[in-house]
Structure 1
Amino acid sequence: MSTLSITRRELLAATVATGAVALLPALAFAADGDTSVRPFTVDISQADIDDLRQRIAHTRWPDVETVIDRSQGPQLADVRELVNYWGNDYDWRRAEAQLNALPQFMTTIDGVDVHFIHVRSRHPNALPLVISHGWPGSVFEQIKLIGPLNDPTAFGGRAEHAFDVVIPSLPGFGFSSQPKEAGWGLERIGQMFDVLMKRVGYTTYVAQGGDWGAGVVQAMAREAPQGLLGIHTNLPAAIPDEVGPALGGGPLPAGITAEEKASVLSLGNFLKQGNLTYVAMMTARPQGVSYGHADSPAGLAGWLLVHPGFEHWSYGKDASQSPTRDEVLDDFTLYWLTNSAASSARLYWENRGRSLTSASAQKTSEIALPVAITVFPDEVYQPPRTWAERAFSNLIYFHEADMGGHFAAWEYPELFAAELRAAFEPLRSAS
C-alpha cells in the first residue's frame, strides 16, 4: 500500500470517528493502482437460484394483519402471492439476459468495485448523463430509460436530444462491491461518480438522481467538479427550515401561500401515518434490521415493500401497470443474490441526520450550478416552485408532471426521458 493510501485511510477514519463529515469532499481519492474499465457479465450460479427457491418454499409466514389496509405494512395475502410466484414461476435468467444484452462494466474507484451500464448513442454530440438510483431501487429501475434517452428518434424525438447513458450501482448495492469501512456518505459517492464519468472518457456531463440519488447529485452540484454542467432531481431538497414544526403538527409559518400550505399538510399527513419509520430503523441500526432480510427472501420482500413508493403498486394484479410483477422481482432478486440488505441499508446510517428533502440539511445554498426539477404527483411530497426557487439559486427548469410517483422512471420511462430532454436542453451548447 502506498504512503498516500495509508495517509488517506487514516484521515478518513479520523474524519468518520469525529463526525467531521464535512471534510470528506476534500479528501483526495487514493490511486487504487488498477484504473482499468473491465467488461462485466452477470453469471449467477444455478445453486444460488435453487437456494432462493428452497428458502421460499420453507417460509414461515406471520399471522394476518388486523386491518383491511396497509397501515400495518404490506398485507399478508399480497406478499404471500408475490413470494409464491417468486419461488415457483419467476425466471431470473430472463432478467440476467436483459442485463447482459447491455454494455456492462466494472472499475475500481476508492477501493470499491463499481458496476455500471454504459450505452453510447449512435447519434453525434450526445450529452453524457450519469443516473443514480436509490433504495430500494437498482439499475433495473432505469433500464427502460435507456432507449428513449439513447435513441430519441425511435421514440418520436430528435437526434440532437440524444444522451450517452451511464447507470452505476451505488456502493453496496447490486453488483458493486460492499465498502469495508465507514465514511461512504453522499459526498464520497458523488466524487466516485465524477471519477467514473471522467474515467470512461467524458470531460463534460450532466447528472440525474431520485431518492438517495437525489442526495448524490446535489452533493456533486455542491462540490461542482470540473465538467459537471448541471443536475436534475425528482426529489429535491427544497423544504425550508421554518416549515419543519408544521410538519409535526405545529403552527403554519406566517405568510405561507395556499400552494405551500397544501404541500405542508400533505407531507405532514404522510409522516403522521408512519410512512417513513423504515428510515428511522435503517438510520439507527442498519445491521440489526438486516439479519432476517439476508436469511429470508420473504422477509426481504416484505421489508422492501414497506417503501411508500410501492403504495400504489398492484403486486402484478394489473398487467398493464409498470413496473410489472416480474420487473419488481428483478429488483428484489438482485438484492437477494448480491446479499446487499445490510450494505444498502448502511447508506441511511452514513447520512443520519441529513434529511433528503431539507434545503438546509442538504446545503442547497452552496449550489451554484444549474438545477432542474420535475415534481411527480404521487411522490413522497410535492414542493411548490416557490420553495425550489428559494433552495436553488440557479433553477433552470421546474415542471409538475401529470403522472408518476417515487419510481417515475420505472413507471413512465418515456415521460421521464422527455423531462430530462427538456431539463437539460439549455446545457447542451456547453457540452
Structure 2
Amino acid sequence: MSIRPFTLAITTEQLDDLDRRLRSSRLPDTLAADSWDDGTDVSFLARLLDYWSNHYDWRIHEQRINRLPQFLAEIDGEEIHFLHQRGIGPKTMPLIITHGWPGSFLEMERLLALLTDPAKYGGHASDAFDVVVPSLPGYGCSPAPTKAGISSKQIASLWASLMGELGYDRFGAQGGDIGAGVSMWLARNYGPNLIGAHLNYIPGSFRPALEGGRDALSEEEQDFLNRSSQFAATEGAYAALHGTKPQTLAFALSDSPAGLAAWIIEKFHSWVDHPNDLEQVVSFDALISDIALYWFSGSIQATLRLYKENRLNPLVFEANERVEAPLGVALFPKELPMPPRSWVERVFHVHRWEHMERGGHFAALEQPEILAEEIRAFFRPLRR
C-alpha cells in the first residue's frame, strides 16, 4: 500500500465552467415559491445559487481545506482520500470516522479538533484520539470505485486495511448514515481489531434475525417498523432511486450544479435540527463547500450507486449471530426513524444508548461538541 500527502487543487477551467453553468441555471415553475412541500424550495435555492455565483469564494475554502492533514492511499486497487490527525494526550486511541450521503469529510472538520485535542476545548487530554476520516469511494476526493461490488461491507475491509497500514492494530469506529453501516460491518467482520463502535444512526438495511417470527416483535419494535414504512412511503423516493436506477439521475446531477444543489439541499433541510431556518445551523458557505466537492469530483454516479450496492448486500444477520464488539448509540432528536434498543440488542452488545438534547442527521456538522463528548464518554471505559 502506498500513502502520500494530498492537496486539493481545482483548476481555473473547472471554476470557470461551474460559474457559466450557475449563471445559466433554469429553475422550474412551482405552485408555491416559498414551500418545501413538493421538494426543494425554489426561493431558497435561488438565494443559494446567487450566493454561490456572487459571494462564495472557492479559493478561500480550498485554502482552509488544505490546512487539514490530507492523504491518499491505494488499497486493493482503490484510491482512498483520508484525513489523519494524531491526538495530543498521554495515550491516544485510534478512531476511524465515516461520513455518509450527502455529506463528506468536511462534516468532521470541527469534530476533528475536539477529539484530537480535547484539553484545548475544556476536556481531558486522557480522552484524546488519533482520528482518521476517510472519504467514501467516489465521494469528495476519493475517486470512484474501479469495479462493481463495492458496498459498505467491502468499504469496511478497505478501512481495516488502511488502519493496519497506519499502524493501528486495534481501533475504534464511529459513523452516521452510510458511515454507521460501515462501522457495523467493521464490528461484524473485524471484531478482534475493534475496540468498539459508536453510531449516531442505525441504517435501515440492518435486519436482525427474528427468532419466533414477527410474533416475537415487541410493541416498540413494531412501532419502529411502522415508522420506517411511513418514512419510505413519504420521504424515501431518493433512496429508492439511488438503490435501483442511479445512473439515470446521475446524468442530470452531473450536468447541472443547480440540480445537484437542489437534490442535496432538500436532505439538509429535512434532516437538520433547525428552527425552520436551515441557515441558523448550517451556513451557505458550509452547504456550498459540501455540494462543490460532489460537483468537482465528477463521480456523482458512484455516490448514488453505493445505495444500490448496499441494497444488494444488506446488513442482514442470521439466527443466533451475535457481534461482541461493544456498541454505543447516540440518538439525536431530529434523526430519521431509529429502532428501540431491543432491536439492536438482538445482534449487538450495546454498552451505551443515550438520547441527545438537540441535533439531527448530520450530528458532527450540527452539534460537534455534543457528539464529541458522547464519543469520549463511550470509549472512556474501553481504553487500556
What TM-score do the two structures reach when normalised by structure 1? Answer: 0.82
Contact 1:309 1:407 in 2 (8 A): no
1:287 partnered with 2:247? yes
Give the letter for the 1:423 counterpart: F
Aligned residue number for residue 282 of structure 2: 323
What do the CA deviations read for 1:234-293 (whole angstroms, capped 9, x no partner)?
A: 112566677xx9xxxxxx967734x55654554444333x21111111111111110111
Map 1:258-269 onto structure 2 (within 5 A): 259-260=220-221, 263-264=224-225, 266-269=227-230
Sort the Cα spacing of 1:255 and 1:219 in 2 relative to 1 into closer, same or farther, 3 A: closer
Contact 1:175 1:338 in 2 (8 A): yes
Contact 1:131 1:208 in 2 (8 A): yes
Aligned residue number for residue 195 of structure 2: 229
Map 1:24-173 onto structure 2 (within 5 A): 35-65=1-31, 69-173=35-139
Sort the Cα spacing of 1:275 and 1:338 in 2 relative to 1 into closer, same or farther, 3 A: same
Aligned residue number for residue 178 of structure 1: 144
- What SS class does the counterpart of residue 187 from structure 1 fall into? helix
What do the CA deviations read for 1:123-145 (whole angstroms, capped 9, x no partner)?
A: 12111100001111100111110
| Per-residue deviation, 1:391 | 3.5
- What SS class does the counterpart of residue 248 from structure 2 fall into? coil
Aligned residue number for residue 351 of structure 1: 310
Hey, what's the Cα distance between the residues in 1 that align with 2:131 and 2:85?
5
1:402 partnered with 2:362? no
| Per-residue deviation, 1:301 | 0.8
| Per-residue deviation, 1:388 | 2.7
Q: 1:218 aligns with which of 184, 187, 190?
A: 184
What do the CA deviations read for 1:44-80 (whole angstroms, capped 9, x no partner)?
A: 1122112111100011111114586423111111111
Hey, what's the Cα distance between the residues in 2 that align with 1:177 and 1:67?
37
Hey, what's the Cα distance between the residues in 1 that align with 2:188 and 2:249?
32
What do the CA deviations read for 1:136-155 (whole angstroms, capped 9, x no partner)?
A: 11001111101110111122
Contact 1:194 1:225 in 2 (8 A): no
Aligned residue number for residue 167 of structure 2: 201
Hey, what's the Cα distance between the residues in 2 that align with 1:122 and 1:381?
36
Sort the Cα spacing of 1:233 and 1:255 in 2 relative to 1 into closer, same or farther, 3 A: closer
| Per-residue deviation, 1:228 | 1.8
Sort the Cα spacing of 1:418 and 1:261 in 2 relative to 1 into closer, same or farther, 3 A: same
| Per-residue deviation, 1:186 | 1.5
Contact 1:130 1:207 in 2 (8 A): yes
Sort the Cα spacing of 1:313 and 1:90 in 2 relative to 1 into closer, same or farther, 3 A: farther
1:277 partnered with 2:230? no
What TM-score do the two structures reach when normalised by structure 2? Answer: 0.91
- What SS class does the counterpart of residue 288 from structure 1 fall into? helix
Aligned residue number for residue 384 of structure 1: 340
Aligned residue number for residue 297 of structure 1: 257
Hey, what's the Cα distance between the residues in 2 that align with 1:213 and 1:232?
10
Aligned residue number for residue 27 of structure 1: none
Sort the Cα spacing of 1:355 and 1:63 in 2 relative to 1 into closer, same or farther, 3 A: farther
Contact 1:78 1:315 in 2 (8 A): no
Contact 1:354 1:361 in 2 (8 A): no
- What SS class does the counterpart of residue 82 from structure 1 fall into? helix
Aligned residue number for residue 256 of structure 1: 218
Hey, what's the Cα distance between the residues in 2 that align with 1:58 and 1:157?
49
Hey, what's the Cα distance between the residues in 1 that align with 2:380 and 2:282?
28
Give the letter for the 1:348 counterpart: Y
- Unaligned residue ranges in structure 2 (runs of 5+): none
What do the CA deviations read for 1:10-37 (whole angstroms, capped 9, x no partner)?
A: xxxxxxxxxxxxxxxxxxxxxxxxx221
Hey, what's the Cα distance between the residues in 2 that align with 1:125 and 1:95?
33
| Per-residue deviation, 1:86 | 1.1
Sort the Cα spacing of 1:265 and 1:179 in 2 relative to 1 into closer, same or farther, 3 A: closer
| Per-residue deviation, 1:322 | 2.8
% same residue: 39
- What SS class does the counterpart of residue 41 from structure 1 fall into? coil
Hey, what's the Cα distance between the residues in 2 that align with 1:58 and 1:389?
52
Hey, what's the Cα distance between the residues in 2 that align with 1:118 and 1:362?
35
| Per-residue deviation, 1:404 | 1.0
Hey, what's the Cα distance between the residues in 2 that align with 1:191 and 1:240?
21
Contact 1:377 1:402 in 2 (8 A): yes
| Per-residue deviation, 1:161 | 0.5
Hey, what's the Cα distance between the residues in 2 that align with 1:286 and 1:364?
35
Hey, what's the Cα distance between the residues in 2 that align with 1:419 and 1:92?
33
Which stretch has the larger CA shift, 409-418 or 224-233? Answer: 224-233
Which stretch has the larger CA shift, 156-165 or 216-225? Answer: 216-225
| Per-residue deviation, 1:207 | 0.6
Give the letter for the 1:186 counterpart: S
Aligned residues: 381
